[in-house]
Chains A and B, each alone.
Chain A
Amino acid sequence: MESIISAMMENQPPWFYYISSIIILITLVIIGIWAYLGAKRFYLAVDKENRIIALLEQKNQLEKDYFYQKTISDQLSEILVNATTFNRLKNKYFSEKDPKLSPTHLAQSIIEALSSDIKTMINAKHRVGLWFYEPENELLRLVQSSANFYKNQHDNKFLDLDDTIGGRCYRRNETIYVPDVKSDPDWEESSDSSNDYSSIICIPINDWGILTIDAKHQMEDTTIKVCELYATIIDGVLSIFLTKELSNIAGDQPPTTNGGD
C-alpha cells in the first residue's frame, strides 16, 4: 500500500502539489474560520447567560434594597406620627390642659415607643433605659426603662461615671454609638448583663443623665438620629418639669402631685 501511494505521488506533475497545497490551506482556513465563528457564538451565548444571571442577582438585590428602604420609610413615617403625638402631649403637659399627664408617664410612653419604633428586622430586640445622674454618689441610676429592662431591679441598677460607656457619654456630653460593646475598653461583663445585647447607643440628656438603647445587632445611622429625636422630646418634658418644680418651690407650695399616681 505504501509503495502504491509513493508511486502515485512520484508520478504526479508539479502543479498537482501546488494546487493540493492551496486546497489544503483553503480548507484549513475555512475550518479555522468556522471554528472561530462557532467559538464566538458559544462565547456570546455563555456571556448572555452570565449577564442574565448577573441581572437576576442585581434584580434580587434591588428588590431587597427596595423592601429595606420601604421598611425604613414606613418606620420613619410612624416615628414622625409618634414624635408629633409626643410633642402635642408635651405641650399639653406644659399648658396643664390635661391634669392626668405627668412627666413620668410621658417619659415611659416615649421609652416604650422608642424600643419598638427602631426595629428594622422582625427578630430585632432593643431595650431602652433612662438614667439620672446622682451627684451624691457620682453614679447614673436607672429610673425608667422599657418593659424588657430589669423592671423590678431599678433600685440596684447603676452605671459608674468613670468605667462605663454610659458614664463616658454623660461626662463628654456627646452621643456615643458602640457597634460591638465587647471591643470597648469601658465595657465590663456584670452578673446582670448576662444577655446577648451587643451594641449600644448612649445619648446625653443635658445635665439630667443619659438615654441608653441596647440592641442585639448593629444599628443604623437612622436609628441614632431617631433616638436623638426621642431624647430631645424627653429633654423637653424634663425641662418643663424642672420649671414647674422650681415654681412650686419658689411659691412654697406643696410639691406637684401631677407627677405621680
Chain B
Amino acid sequence: MNRDTLYFRKAALNVAYKNKELPLNIYNKEVVRINHQLKELMDQERSKQATISIQQNNKLKKLFPVM
C-alpha cells in the first residue's frame, strides 16, 4: 500500500468518525494501524534514500579517488 492510499484511508476514517458512522474504539484502532504503516513506509523510504546516497558516494569515490 502506498503513502497516498494510507492518507486516503486515514481521511476516510476521520470523515466516518466525524459523521458518527464509526465507533471510537474501531476508529482509534484503525488510525493507530495506519499511523504505524505510515511510519514504516517513511522509515523504508529514508533507508532507501540513505542506501542510494551511499551507493552514489561510493561510485563517485571510485571515479574520483582524490575526493
Q: What residues of chain A have their CB less than 8 Å away from a CB belonging to chain B?
A: 102-104, 107-108, 132-135, 141, 143-144, 154-155, 206-209, 238, 241-242, 245-246, 249, 255, 257, 259-261
The 4 lowest CB-CB distance pairs between A and B, nearest first, are A260-B1, A260-B5, A132-B11, A259-B5
A132-B7 contact given A155-B42, A249-B30, CB 8 Å threshold: yes
**Interchain nearest-CB distance for B1 vs A (Å):** 4
Smallest CB-CB separation from B7: which chain A residue? A143
Q: Is the CB of A102 within 8 A of B14?
A: no
**Interchain nearest-CB distance for B50 vs A (Å):** 16
Q: What residues of chain B have their CB less than 8 Å away from a CB belonging to chain A?
A: 1-16, 18-19, 21-22, 26, 30, 42
Q: Is the interface of A mostly helix, strand, loop or mixed?
A: mixed
Q: Is the CB of B8 within 8 A of A241?
A: yes
Bound CA span A249–B9, Å: 11
Q: Is the interface of B mostly helix, strand, loop or mixed?
A: helix
With A143-B8, A207-B14, A242-B15 given, can you name 18 additional A-B contacts, CB distance below 8 Å?
A: A103-B8, A104-B2, A104-B4, A104-B8, A132-B8, A134-B10, A134-B14, A141-B7, A143-B11, A144-B4, A155-B42, A207-B18, A208-B11, A241-B12, A242-B16, A255-B9, A257-B1, A259-B1
Smallest CB-CB separation from B21: which chain A residue? A246
Bound CA span A208–B18, Å: 10
In the complex, chain A residues whose CB is within 8 Å of the CB of B15: 206-208, 238, 242
Bound CA span A260–B37, Å: 13
Q: Is the CB of B14 within 8 A of A135?
A: yes
Smallest CB-CB separation from A261: which chain B residue? B2
Bound CA span A209–B12, Å: 11
Partner among B11, B13, B19, B30 whose Cβ is within 8 Å of the Cβ of A209: B11
In the complex, chain B residues whose CB is within 8 Å of the CB of A143: 4, 7-8, 11
